[in-house]
Amino acid sequence: MLHLCLAVIPSRSRFDALQPRLCQLPSDHDGKHSEFPFLKHLLKSHPAVAKKIVRDSIMTTGAAWKSEEAGPNRILRWVMLLPDETLLEYGINMNNLKPQVVAKLRDKAATYEECIQVAKRLTWTAYQMPGSPEPDAFTKDYLEDHFSTMIPGSTSCLICLEPLPFTLFSGAARGKAAIETGHMNPRHHDATNVGFVHRECNIAQGNKTLQEFYDWIAAILERANKI
């Protein structure tokens, strides 16, 4: 099991005083600290995919949250763990938001450690998609040490269980990415619970757990088959 450096990386965001960002390189590394060394290789060949993995891992989503009333559009997930009073000091007034927006933001909350683990897991998953690039030796070893041996081409959509081709990252339907990050339980953002999914599958699952979704569609089919 790899020992990580975990040195504090100098501040980049106003929230770093609350939760420092940590170096994820092996403890015996040379050179500069790095928070996402497992994405360095992908960032070169497929920058949009690497950036999406970082974004989905550490930021809340915020569809249509563009007005001030609607709340921050995207915010660091661990910031959403802070109490209202602390957020107010950072200029985020949760009392100004509709209760359902607050609930949605709070649902997306996760610790820094959970977010980093999700980023690693998604990267490991991406490299196992049909048609994915091959990881370099460092990345392969690093990710396999964290999880298990990669099986090229083995990644399926977490929801519909169909193979999920890497090329879908670049495909776009109606201006939106065809692949999204999904959650078996939409209210838990951790590495055991995430995976890539088709956009249409993610939309269909909504805020149900995967089991609730399967139960729901089974009940629909049962009623539909009676007719």
Q: Interface residues with a second copy (CB under 8 A)?
A: 64, 98, 100, 104, 159-162, 173-175, 200, 203-204, 206, 214, 216-221, 223-224, 227
Phi, psi of 173 (to 5 degrees): -105, 125
Residues in the chain: 227
Smallest distance from a second copy to CB 159, Å: 7
CB 110 within 8 A of CB 192: no
Q: Cα(117)–Cα(124) distance, rounded to whole angstroms?
A: 11
Q: Which is nearer to a second copy, 151 or 224 (CB)?
A: 224
**3 state DSSP class of 69:** helix
Smallest distance from a second copy to CB 190, Å: 21
Q: Cα(69)–Cα(10) distance, rounded to whole angstroms?
A: 33
Q: Which is nearer to a second copy, 32 or 176 (CB)?
A: 176
Smallest distance from a second copy to CB 74, Å: 16
Smallest distance from a second copy to CB 224, Å: 5
Max intra-chain CA distance, the chain? 67
